[in-house]
């Protein structure tokens, strides 16, 4: 699998942010999986933490590894969230949602004292937009919502975005953990990500979008022999 060692090294470096007694948001995806596995090893050695999974996929992984979980509704404070990203720019702005978990990922990141992103170098970009931007929408009226998402992206300066409804393995629209659909928006370049985020947030039917503008304060990029930590 491509970039496995780099992902693993990024996840290892994220362990420096973990402290006994923390409630920790557990990200979704192949990079976050390494972090959950690290936690499980440390828990077996006596680390006391509680995890808040950002997806049903991560919930199942954590449960299978014996990581104690707590329902988000029972949580007062999330000290730390460690998650992957599909793109990260030099200002720690992100595109997330390649794994269709962006809604829970954003709720949990936003509620966390600190969000740490772990990634391999292929995720670093000068400008966001090469990775199709996921936008989670209600199934009701999604074709109308898609047109308004198109208009919002154009108003944010994106040139001729192309919008596809993400399909699941059954070739029907993929249904997220929250019961919604995902619009994958091919943008090429998103010239003003904060503006795009603000405009998308105002489209009726948009539940959440995959632009994480101010959430992330630490980015860890793994390499074959270690990791580089960027703190913002
Ligand atoms: C899931 C996500 C993931 O963090 C993102 O897709 C990166 O995944 P991976 O670590 O497998 O490349 O946002 O919704």
Tell me which residue has its CA closest to atom 1 in ligand 1.
Answer: 99
Q: Which strand ranges, in their side-by-side order, compose the sheet holding 162-165? A: 162-165, 181-186, 133-137, 206-209
Q: Is 105 a catalytic residue?
A: yes
Tell me which residue has its CA closest to atom 4 in ligand 1.
Answer: 84
CA distance 182 to 101: 10
- Cβ 31 under 6 angstroms from ligand 1: yes
CA distance 148 to 220: 35
Contact 133, 210 (CB under 8 A): yes
Parts of the chain with a pLDDT under 70: none
Quick: pLDDT tens for 31-55.
999 999 999 999 999 999 999 999 9
How far CA 148 is from CA of 28, 199, 201, in Å, comes to: 28, 10, 11
Report how far ligand 1's centroid is from the alpha carbon of 138 (Å): 21
Report how far ligand 1's centroid is from the alpha carbon of 96 (Å): 6
pLDDT in the model for residue 48: 98
**48: Cα within 13 Å, side-chain hemisphere:** 2
Q: Where are the alpha helices (DSSP H) in 18-141?
A: 30-44, 56-65, 102-110
pLDDT in the model for residue 85: 98
pLDDT in the model for residue 149: 98
210 membership: H or E segment, kind and range: none
Atom of ligand 1 at shortest range from CA of 83: 4
Report how far ligand 1's centroid is from the alpha carbon of 155 (Å): 27
- Cβ 91 under 6 angstroms from ligand 1: no
Instruction: Show the tokens assigned to 231.
Output: 């703190």
């Amino acid at each position: 699998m491509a970039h496995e060692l780099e992902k693993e090294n990024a996840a290892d470096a994220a362990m420096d942010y973990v402290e006994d007694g923390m409630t920790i948001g557990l990200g979704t995806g192949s990079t976050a999986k390494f972090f959950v596995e690290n936690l499980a090893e440390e828990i077996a050695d006596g680390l006391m933490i509680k995890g808040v999974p950002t997806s049903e996929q991560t919930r199942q992984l954590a449960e299978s590894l014996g990581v104690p979980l707590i329902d988000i509704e029972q949580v007062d404070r999330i000290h730390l969230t460690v998650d992957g990203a599909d793109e990260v720019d030099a200002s720690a702005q992100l595109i997330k949602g390649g794994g269709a978990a962006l809604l829970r990922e954003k709720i949990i990141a936003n509620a966390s004292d600190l969000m740490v992103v772990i990634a391999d170098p292929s995720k670093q970009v000068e400008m966001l937009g090469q990775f199709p931007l996921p936008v989670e929408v209600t199934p009701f009226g999604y074709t109308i919502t898609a047109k308004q998402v198109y208009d919002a992206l154009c108003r944010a300066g994106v040139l001729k975005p192309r919008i596809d409804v993400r399909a699941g393995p059954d070739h029907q629209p993929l249904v997220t953990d929250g019961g919604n659909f995902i619009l994958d928006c091919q943008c090429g370049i998103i010239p003003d990500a904060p503006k795009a985020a603000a405009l998308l947030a105002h489209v009726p039917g948009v539940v959440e979008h995959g632009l994480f503008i101010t959430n992330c304060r630490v980015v860890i990029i793994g390499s074959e022999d270690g990791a580089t930590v960027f703190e913002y």
